[in-house]
């Protein structure tokens, strides 16, 4: 049994440490454990929404982050405990008595928390090295976790800024189109450019910190999924008509940025968005001049619908005034 405890403990530690460092330091997304815990946590929140209403979305991101942190801690704590348990005489108290299971669990907890109580001590050089290493790791764990969550908070601010910026441009796709066309040309150029930069920044943040995806708003007007769908439809109207001809180059850049964001959504969140069950084919969209665009539009509309449908919105919410 000692060998089994040691093997399982090492495996748990390797999984947890890899997932932790990849998620917090790589800037390339989340590890396998964090990704699946995020999806599970989101499903729990979706269930709560059915019971308590949209207010539950206010706790979505917080709950996902806490669940990830909790599972990291449980995996590391449990793995290190099993390593200590592989040698029943590895830990003794100040009088030399061998620690029992509860005392080894207690010793593991204060080792990771870097408290160094001193009432229990490792008895061999190997376990002394293990204890020292994980005391140091505990410091890295908590400081890196806080740094990571601060970066997530910064990414969340950008997400909300993007959502607000789109909402102020118009509450429906047609409102956005009308406002762009009615503004002074220089101001419209500036607005389109600023939106493109915000979309690019959000795409980068979204890829680096996918947990941002699960931060949702209870108020319809603040929902990024709804607002970005409105913006995308507005860009389609302008691109596939003569109305937006003078803004065509700027709109193409904005469209390209939004396409990059949608590609990332399709690649990394397909299971969360249920893209195969959309209602794009049955919804009566406003007519556009360019029939050749139908295939490209259908694909991006599928992803857009999956995005806002995960917050229980429909195409009626996209096109209807609040």
> Structure tokens of 296?
């490209």
pLDDT for res 275: 65
More confident residue, 274 or 149: 149
Q: If you average pLDDT over residues 11-38, what whole number do you get?
A: 92
> What share of the chain has pLDDT > 70, as a percent?
95
Kindly tell me the sign of the dihedral angle through the C-alpha atoms of 183, 189, 192, 193: negative
Distance CA 291, CA 295 (A): 9
pLDDT for res 265: 87
Q: What is the mean pLDDT of residues 169-193?
A: 92
pLDDT computed for residue 120 by the predictor = 84
Instruction: Provide the pLDDT for residue 294.
Output: 75
User: Any idea how long the chain is?
Assistant: 322
φ/ψ of 119, rounded to 5, equals: -80, -15
Q: Determine which of 20-24, 276-280, 309-313, 314-318 has the lowest per-residue pLDDT on average.
A: 276-280
C-alpha 122/C-alpha 87 separation (Å) is: 11
Q: Collapsing DSSP states into helix, strand and coil, what is residue 91?
A: strand
On average, the pLDDT of the chain sits at 88
pLDDT tens digits for 39-63? 899 999 999 999 999 899 988 888 9
Give the C-alpha separation, 33 to 44, whole Å: 17
Task: Find where tokens 């949702």 sit.
Answer: 216
- Say whether 322 sits in a helix, a strand or coil: coil
The whole-number average pLDDT for the span 126-152 is 90
CA distance readout (Å), 322 to 17, 73, 179, 180, 272: 46, 43, 17, 20, 26
236 vs 124: CA distance, rounded Å:
69
Is-contact 234 241, C-beta < 8 A?
A: no
Distance of CA 211 to the CA centre of its chain: 2
Both tokens assigned to 310: 């995960």
Question: For 146-165, what is the mean pLDDT?
Answer: 93
For residue 163, pLDDT over 90 is answered with yes
Beta strands in the chain (DSSP E): 91-93, 120-122
Model's pTM, two decimal places? 0.85
Q: CB atoms < 10 A from the CB of 91, how many?
A: 24
Quote the tokens at residue 4: 């089994």
Segment 197-217 mean pLDDT: 92
C-alpha span between 250 and 269 (Å, rounded): 28
pLDDT in tens, 221-259: 899 999 999 999 999 989 888 777 889 899 999 999 999
Burial-class residue 249 by CB neighbours within 10 Å (0-12, 13-18, 19+). exposed
For residue 310, pLDDT beyond 70: yes
pLDDT band at 290 (very low <50, low <70, confident <90, very high): low
Taking only the tens place, the pLDDT of each residue in 17-30 is: 999 999 998 888 88
pLDDT at 289: 64
Is the predicted pLDDT of residue 292 greater than 60, yes or no? no
């Amino acid at each position: 049994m000692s060998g089994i405890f040691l093997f399982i403990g090492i495996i748990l530690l390797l999984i947890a440490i890899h997932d932790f460092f990849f998620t917090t330091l790589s800037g390339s997304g989340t590890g396998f454990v964090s990704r699946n815990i995020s999806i599970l946590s989101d499903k729990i929140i979706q269930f709560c929404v059915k019971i308590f209403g949209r207010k539950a979305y206010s706790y979505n991101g917080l709950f996902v982050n806490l669940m990830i942190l909790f599972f990291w801690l449980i995996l590391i704590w449990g793995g290190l405990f099993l390593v200590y348990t592989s040698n029943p005489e590895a830990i003794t108290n100040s009088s030399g008595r061998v620690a029992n299971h509860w005392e080894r669990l207690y010793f593991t907890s204060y080792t990771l928390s870097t408290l160094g109580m001193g009432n229990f001590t490792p008895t061999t050089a190997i376990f002394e090295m293990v204890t020292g290493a994980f005391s140091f790791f505990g410091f890295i764990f908590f400081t890196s976790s806080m740094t990571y969550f601060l970066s997530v908070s910064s990414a969340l601010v950008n997400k909300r800024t993007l959502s607000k910026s789109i909402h102020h441009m118009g509450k429906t796709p047609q409102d956005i189109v009308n406002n762009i066309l009615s503004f002074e040309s220089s101001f419209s150029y500036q607005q389109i450019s600023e939106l493109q930069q915000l979309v690019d920044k959000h795409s980068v943040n979204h890829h680096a910190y996918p947990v941002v995806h699960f931060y949702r708003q209870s108020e319809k007007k603040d929902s990024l999924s709804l607002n970005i769908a409105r913006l995308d439809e507005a860009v389609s109207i302008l691109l596939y008509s003569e109305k937006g001809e003078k803004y065509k180059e700027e709109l193409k850049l904005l469209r390209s940025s939004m396409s990059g964001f949608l590609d990332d959504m399709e690649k990394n969140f397909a299971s969360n968005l249920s893209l195969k069950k959309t209602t794009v084919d049955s919804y009566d969209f406003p007519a556009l001049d360019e029939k050749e665009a139908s295939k490209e539009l259908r694909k991006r509309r599928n992803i857009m619908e999956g995005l806002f449908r995960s917050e229980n919105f429909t195409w009626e919410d996209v096109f209807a005034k609040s």
